[in-house]
Structure 1
Amino acid sequence: MSEKNIDIVEELLPRYCEGNVSAEEKEKVEKWIRQSEEHYKIARQIQLIYLASDTISVMDRINTDNALSKVDNRIFRSQLKALFIWGQRVAAILFIPLLVAYLLQVLIPEKQDIRMLEVRTNPGMTTSLTLPDGTKVNLNSESSLVYPESFEGELRSVRLEGEAFFEVVKNPEKRFVVTTPHNASVEVLGTSFNMEAFKWDSIVSTTLISGKVAFISNSGQVNMKPGEKLIYNIQTNRSDIYRTSGEAEISWKDGMIIFKKTPFEEALRMLTKRFNVDFVVSNNKYVKDFFTGSFTNHRLEQILDIFNASSGIKWRYIPSENKLDRKSKVEIY
C-alpha cells in the first residue's frame, strides 16, 4: 500500500471520525473514500470503532447514584464502577490502534510481487513489442528491455540497454520513465522518441519526435522539444542538443540506414549496430568527413565500397584470433 494511503488511514481518518479536521483535510479524506469501495469499507470500520468508543464517554453522563442508593457500601461500589469504566477506556485506547493495524494488513491487500519480463534482440536483428499500458516499442539490434508484467502505482518504469524507439501512451497520472545503465533516464507522459544507451558506449542519446521529454543525468535535467537530439557524454558529463528531422535516427526500425550529413564517427556507430561489427580506425584523416545516402538491403561491403568511391576511405577485414568471437573486425586505414 502506498505511503499516501497509510498516512490517511493512520492519521487523518481517526481525526475525521472525531470531527477534528480542517476543511482541507476533510475534503482530502472524503475524496479518498470516494475513490473505491475498499476505501469506503475501511473508513466505515474505523467510524464504527469510534462510535463504540463514544458510548464509553456517554457512561460518564449517566447518573448512577440512584441505581446504587440502596446499596450500603456506596464508596466501594463507586470505586468499583470507576475502575470498570477506566478499564473500558484503557481497552478501547489499546483496541483502536490494533484494529487500525488489522485493517491495514488484512482488509487492504498487500501488493503482490510483480513479475519482470525481458526482451532481447540478437545481433543484426530488430523486434517490436507492446507494453502492458499499450506503449509500442521497437528494439534495435543487441538491445534489451526489462519491464513489469503490469504497471502499478504512479510510475511506469522500464530499463533499456541498447537502442529503442518508444511510442508512449499518454497517462498524466502515470509518468513513463526509461532508465539506462549509465545513470541517465528519460521521463515522459505521452510522446514518441528514440533512445540509445548501449552499455559498451560512452554516450547516451535521445531524439524527440513528438511530445515532451525530460532527459535526466548527472549533469542535471534538460527539457527537450520535438526535432531535438540530445547527446550526453558519460565521460565528460556534458549534454549537447542538436536540431534534427529524426529521419536518420529512427530509420533503423524500418530496416533502413539513412545518412544525412552524418559525421564519420556517427556513421561507423550506425554500421556497428546494424552489422554487428567492430571498427578499428588507424587513419584519422576521415574524422572530419560527412556522409549522405540511404541504404536498405545493402551489405556492409557494398556500403563501405560506396564510402571508398565518395571519400576515398580504405577498409579491410581483420582476421580474428579468437574463433569464438561473434563480431567481425574492420580496419579503416
Structure 2
Amino acid sequence: MNRQMSDLEQQLIDYYNNKLNEEQRRKIESWINASEENRQTARRIFSFMLAIEVQRMHKKTNTEEALAKTKNKIKNKRRTIWLRWTQRSAAALLILLTVFMLWRHPQSNDQDTTAEIIEVQTVSGMTIRLTLPDSTYVCLNSESTLKYPSRFVKGTRSVYLSGEAYFEVAKDPNRRFIVHTPQQTAVEVYGTHFNVEAYPNAPLITATLTEGSIKFRYQEGTEVKYMPLNPGQKAIYNTATQEVSRHPTSGISELAWTEGKIIFDNTPLQEALHMLSKRFGTDFIVTNPDLCNNRFTGSFSTEQIEKILKHFEISSEIHWRYLNKKDASQKKKTIEIY
C-alpha cells in the first residue's frame, strides 16, 4: 500500500512538472477527478511542491545576496528577480502562502477543459515568483491573485490577475498571451516584459512596458478599444471615467518592487503612500488634502516604514502617527498623515 502511494505521489509530481506522456497524463487526470479524496491528495502534492520551491528560492536568494556584497555590488544590466518578502523566515511564509487547486473550473473556449485551474494568492506584504506552464516568468506582488491553467493547449494563453504582477512572457508567435484584469481590461502580447497593476477596488489600472510591445485592452462605454504601447511607456486607465492615457516612463519606479525595493522618482504623495501600503500592508489616511501636492524622491530596500516616513517629515511639512484600531477585526495598521 505504501509502495503504491509512493508511486502515485511520484506520478503526480511528474504530472505537475509536465513529464508524463499523453496516456499517462490522462490516467492521472481521470484518477484526480474520480473522488474528492483523490483531489485532496493532488492538492497536497502540489502544495508540497510549491513549498519546496519557496524554500529553495529562499536559500538561493540569500546566497546571491551574499555574493553580491562580496563583489561590491557589481552592476549587471541583466535583471534577475528573486522571491522577495518582508518576513525572511521561509517557515513563516509557508504559513502565509495560500494555494488553491480548483478542479474542473469553468474555462474559456481557448483552453483545454481537462486542465486544472491553479490559483495563487499572496497576503499583505508578500511577493512570490512563479513559472507558468509555457515557461512565462511571473513575479506576483502583495495581496494579489493569479489564476492560470496547469497547461496551455489551445488557442491563446489566458491568465487572470487581480492585483499586481510583472511578466516575462515566453515568446510564441502563434499564441497570444492575455492577462485578464478587473473592469473588463486586459493586456495582450506574444512575448514581452511588462508590469500590470490592477487591484479590484483601485481607481486606476496601469500597464508598464519595458521590452517588446503590448496592447492594452479597455472598455469605453459599450465599445472595446486598444492602446498599443512601446517600451518606456505606461498606460493608465481610469475605471470611473473609462478614459485611458499614455505616459513616458523609465519603469524604474514601477518595477522596483520586484527587486524588494521602493523607488520614489518625483512621486506624488498619494502614489507614494499606495506603494508603501502594498509593501508594508498598512492603510493610510490623509487628513490634510494640501499635503497631496508634495512629491518625493528616494530609494529604499530594507528600511522599515517608520524610517521612510521620517524621510517624508524631513523633506516636507508632513507629520504622521499610528491610529488606534477602532475595530478588533481590522488586520492592518492605520497611519494618519497630517
TM-score when scaled to structure 1? Answer: 0.66
Aligned position for 1:213:
214
Q: Is 1:260 equivalent to 2:233 in the alignment?
A: no
Amino acid at match of 2:296: F
Q: Is 1:163 equivalent to 2:164 in the alignment?
A: yes
Measured after TM superposition, the shift of residue 130 of structure 1 is 0.2
Measured after TM superposition, the shift of residue 270 of structure 1 is 0.5
Distance in 2, matches of 1:317 and 1:218, equals: 39
Which runs of 4 or more aligned residues in structure 1 lie more than 3 Å from their structure 2 counterparts after TM superposition? none
- Where 1:151 maps in the other structure, the secondary structure is coil
Amino acid at match of 1:120: Q
Amino acid at match of 1:164: A
Distance in 1, matches of 2:202 and 2:113, equals: 36
Distance in 2, matches of 1:159 and 1:226, equals: 23
Distance in 2, matches of 1:212 and 1:295, equals: 30
Amino acid at match of 1:287: C
Q: 1:11-51 CA distances to partner (integer Å, 9 max, x unpaired)? A: xxxxxxxxxxxxxxxxxxxxxxxxxxxxxxxxxxxxxxxxx
Distance in 2, matches of 1:168 and 1:245, equals: 20
Match of 2:283 among 267, 278, 284: 278
Distance in 2, matches of 1:241 and 1:290, equals: 21
Aligned position for 2:119:
118
Amino acid at match of 1:158: V
Q: 1:259-295 CA distances to partner (integer Å, 9 max, x unpaired)? A: 0111111111101111111111110112121110000
Amino acid at match of 2:118: L
After TM superposition, the structure 1 = structure 2 runs for residues 41-80 of structure 1, keeping only pairs within 5 Å, are none
Distance in 2, matches of 1:160 and 1:228, equals: 21
Q: For residues 112 and 231 of structure 1, do their structure 2 counterparts lie closer, same or farther at Cα, with a shift above 3 Å needed?
A: closer
Aligned position for 2:145:
144
Distance in 1, matches of 2:146 and 2:252, equals: 23
Aligned position for 1:182:
183
Measured after TM superposition, the shift of residue 112 of structure 1 is 4.7
Percent identical residues: 45
- Where 2:272 maps in the other structure, the secondary structure is helix
- Please, what is the CA RMSD of the aligned residues? 1.0
Tell me, which stretches of 5 or more residues in structure 2 are unaligned? 1-111
Q: How many residues align?
A: 223
- Where 2:114 maps in the other structure, the secondary structure is coil
- Where 1:218 maps in the other structure, the secondary structure is strand
Distance in 1, matches of 2:333 and 2:201, equals: 16
Amino acid at match of 2:259: D
TM-score when scaled to structure 2? Answer: 0.65
- Where 1:164 maps in the other structure, the secondary structure is strand
- Structure with greater helix percent: 1
